[in-house]
Amino acid sequence: MESSEEKVVAVIIVGGPAEGTRFRPLSFNTPKPLFPLAGHPMVHHPISACKKIPNLAQIFLIGFYEGREFALYVSSISNELKVPVRYLKEDKPHGSAGSLYYFRDQIMEDSPSHIFLLNCDVCCNFPLPNMLDSHKRYGGMGTLLVIKVSPESANQFGELVADPITKELLHYTEKPETFVSDLINCGVYIFTPKIFSAIEDVSMHWEDRANVRVSNFALQMATRSLLPDFVRLDQDILSPLAGKKQLYTYETMDFWEQMKTPGISIKCSALYLAQFRVASPHLLAKGDGTKNATVVGDVYIHPSAKVHPTAKIGPNVSISANVRVAPGVRLINCIILDDVEIDENAVIMHAIVGWKSSIGKWSRVQADGDYNKKLGITILGEAVSVEDEVVVINSIVLPNKSLNVSVQEEIIL
């Protein structure tokens, strides 16, 4: 049958607490990778996608969050999806290439022929099996997932140039000031184990330049510590290898977003909800106001949430566990986190309502919905209380605050 068939592993970079300042105030008490999109933790989506990879042996999560938070999640997702998931904790950030190299022994444990590398904060449909087939055809050391974006927004990302016929990666530059290309790096890669020697080569080159004289013996003994502390995959490893027939590209025509700020998570949640409608419609809520609340568009409601039938929910709403939605509530384009209580006739639009918050009767929590503006999505942190009839517009409220007067365009500490 399948003898020494090619095993594949996947590595998902989850990061750590010090990096998460852009995701405040939602990242204060919850690690960003566990923030729910379309009712499931952010990292659930790439893990789910990895399950479709044939001959998947193991999924590794690499990051520097304290083990406790992830241990519980990892064992539950492992059971739920019936796929082995392991959390490898770094003592400090090493950069994505540095992290990959740091854990190379564990990653190579099953002698995989291919290694997927995904960034946790990427939102896309992860066409991993097709990407693997293309990678095998190209025969290179690595393949990057790429996507075309508008020329104006391209400079927020890594811009790259690819050969239109061979799909080879010809040129790569990170966040350039002038326009290079409208094709950008999605943060999803496939490598053969040769990536580890590529990382070693590059860092040796650095060491040469730094003029460190080490004897060959010492070099072999200390390969792990020889690597500079922080090695970035894109700028330090891939950029120098572009144009050398080692790296190729696979273009996706589907959706792609990077979850840098909390506001974008509503957009990403909507994209995943739309994906559920196609692939797993049973996960979405249904209702017409008789026995269940009226549902418009794509809506996820956790089984333990209680939503009054006179409420109208959607489009693009995610309601997490133990939420109580009272009669007459209207929710549009929002994420309602665990244990929130929303009282009668309240309206929530273009907002994220943090865990355990309470929203008073006839209050309004809304924003203009512009994901690119700093205050374009209203965000309430954990345990925020909005009193009856209060209006909160285009604002961010830190945890444990109580609002008894209306606010607009403000950050409340």
Partner 1 sequence: MKALILVGGFGTRLRPLTLSVPKPLVEFANKPMILHQIEALKAIGVTEVVLAINYQPEEMLNFLKEFEAKLGIKITCSQETEPLGTAGPIALARDKLIDGSGEPFFVLNSDVISEYPLKEMVEFHKSHGGEASIMVTKVDEPSKYGVVVMEESTGQVERFVEKPKLFVGNKINAGIYLLNPSVLHHIELRPTSIEKEVFPNIAAQKKLYAMVLPGFWMDIGQPKDYITGLRLYLDSLRKKSSPKLASGSHIIGNVLVDESAKIGEGCLIGPDVAIGPGCVVESGVRLSRCTIMRGVRIKNHACISSSIIGWHSTVGQWARVENMTILGEDVHVRDEIYSNGGVVLPHKEIKSSILKPEIVM
Which residues contact partner 1 (rule: CB under 8 A)? 18, 21, 24-25, 28, 396, 398-401, 411, 413
CA-to-CA separations, 269 to 15, 83, 86, 302, in angstroms, rounded: 20, 24, 25, 14
**Least CB distance to partner 1 at residue 410 (A):** 9
**Least CB distance to partner 1 at residue 401 (A):** 6
SS3 152: coil
From CA 402, how far away is CA 26, in angstroms rounded? 17
From CA 41, how far away is CA 118, in angstroms rounded? 15
From CA 62, how far away is CA 13, in angstroms rounded? 5
Specify whether the CB–CB gap between 105 and 112 falls below 8 A.
Answer: no
From CA 246, how far away is CA 141, in angstroms rounded? 5
Cβ proximity to partner 1, 39 vs 354, nearer residue: 354
Cβ proximity to partner 1, 261 vs 275, nearer residue: 261
Cβ proximity to partner 1, 18 vs 212, nearer residue: 18
SS3 183: strand
Cβ proximity to partner 1, 190 vs 375, nearer residue: 375
Torsion, Cα 232 234 239 240, to 10 degrees, reads 30
- Please choose, from the candidates 385, 289, 300, the residue with its C-alpha nearest in 3D space to the C-alpha of residue 343: 385
**Least CB distance to partner 1 at residue 17 (A):** 9
Cβ proximity to partner 1, 306 vs 374, nearer residue: 374
- DSSP string of 22-35, one letter each residue: GGTTTTTTS-GGGS
**Least CB distance to partner 1 at residue 136 (A):** 43
Cβ proximity to partner 1, 22 vs 52, nearer residue: 22
SS3 346: coil
Query: H or E stretch including 314?
Result: none
Please give the radius of gyration of the chain, using alpha carbons only, rounded to the nearest integer.
Answer: 23
**Least CB distance to partner 1 at residue 147 (A):** 29
Cβ proximity to partner 1, 26 vs 120, nearer residue: 26
The DSSP 8-state label assigned to residue 122 in this structure reads E
Cβ proximity to partner 1, 28 vs 276, nearer residue: 28
**Least CB distance to partner 1 at residue 262 (A):** 10
**Least CB distance to partner 1 at residue 29 (A):** 11
From CA 84, how far away is CA 60, in angstroms rounded? 9
From CA 214, how far away is CA 234, in angstroms rounded? 28
**Least CB distance to partner 1 at residue 94 (A):** 18
**Beta-bridge partner residues of 89:** 63
From CA 66, how far away is CA 74, in angstroms rounded? 13
Cβ proximity to partner 1, 28 vs 371, nearer residue: 28
**Least CB distance to partner 1 at residue 25 (A):** 7
The amino acid that residue 193 corresponds to is P
